[in-house]
Amino acid sequence: MKNYLERTIAPRVRADGGWLEWAAEDDETLTLTARGECAQCKCLDKCLDWVRARIRRDLGVDRAVRAVREPFIWRK
């Protein structure tokens, strides 16, 4: 999952100024960290639906996808 996110999803999101990266995962839920423009995007939920659909299509697994927003200036 981490590799898939890094190789397939992240480049597309980054090309729009966004940033999604793996944060945690269990059998039901994939949690991402939303940074860059994703951290303040009004349509992030719609984008996460797209991530879920892509994962289902490409990896054959279904996970609820959620994100924790991390605006850039707050990063530790």
Partner 1 sequence: MGHVKVIRRSMRPDEWTQVRIGWLRGLMLDRQEEITGWTIREGRQTGENSYEMDDAEPRPLRRGDLYFTPDGTVFLHAEAVLPEDLRGRTDVRLRIATAGEMLVRVNGRLQGGIDPNRETMLLPPAPDGRVVIDIEGYCRSKPDDDRNEDTMHLKGCRQVFQGGWFVTLNQEAAALYQDVFVFWNMLQGGQLDEDACAVISDRLYHALNLVDWETGGGLGEAREYVGQALYASRLPRGGGEVALVAHSHLDIAYYWRRIHAVQKNARTCLIQLELMDRYPFLRYTHTQAYLFETLETYYPELFERVREKVKSGQFEPAGGMYVESDCNLPAAESLVRQFLYGQRYFRSAFGRACTNCWLPDVFGNSAILPQILRKSGIDYFVSNKMSTWNDTNRFPHNSFIWRGLDGSQVYACVPPTHFITAATPTEILENWAAYQDKDSGVPTLCMYGYGDGGSGVTEGMLQTIERLDKTPLLPRVTVTGGEAYLASSFGSDKPLAVWDGELYLEMHRGTFTTKSDLKRQNRRLEILLRDAEFAQALRWLQGESYAADALRRAWKTLLVNQFHDILPGSHIRPVFEDAMADYARIGSEAGALLGEAGEKWYNTLSFGRRLPAFVPDERGKEEHLGQRGRYVTGRMPSLAPVLETPPRHDAGWLTATPRDDGSLLVETDALRAVLLPDGSFASLCDETGREYVRGEFNRLRLFRDIPGNYDAWDILPTYRETPLPLPVDSPLRLVQTDGETAELRCALATPKSRFLRTLRLFRGRHEIEVEHRVDWHEDHVLAKAEFDCNVRAPYALCDLGAGFIARETNRNTTWQQARYEVCHHKWCDLSETGGGVAIINDGKYGVGLWDSTISLSLLRATCRPDLISDRGEHSFGYLIVPHAGSATEAGINRLALEYNTPLRRLALPALRLPELGSLFLQAVKLSEDGERLILRLTEQDGRRGVLRFPFPVKVMNLLEDAEADADAVPYRPFEILTLGIGKKDAAKLLAP
Q: Point out which residues bind partner 1 (CB under 8 A).
A: 9, 11-19, 35-37, 41-44, 46-47, 49-50, 72-73, 75-76
Which one, 22 or 27, has the nearer CB to partner 1? Answer: 22
Name the strand (E) or helix (H) holding 24. strand 18-25
Which one, 27 or 35, has the nearer CB to partner 1? Answer: 35
Which one, 29 or 71, has the nearer CB to partner 1? Answer: 71
Alpha helix (H) residue ranges in 1-76? 2-4, 10-14, 44-59
**Distant-in-sequence, close-in-space partners of 74: CB < 8 Å, separation ≥ 6:** none
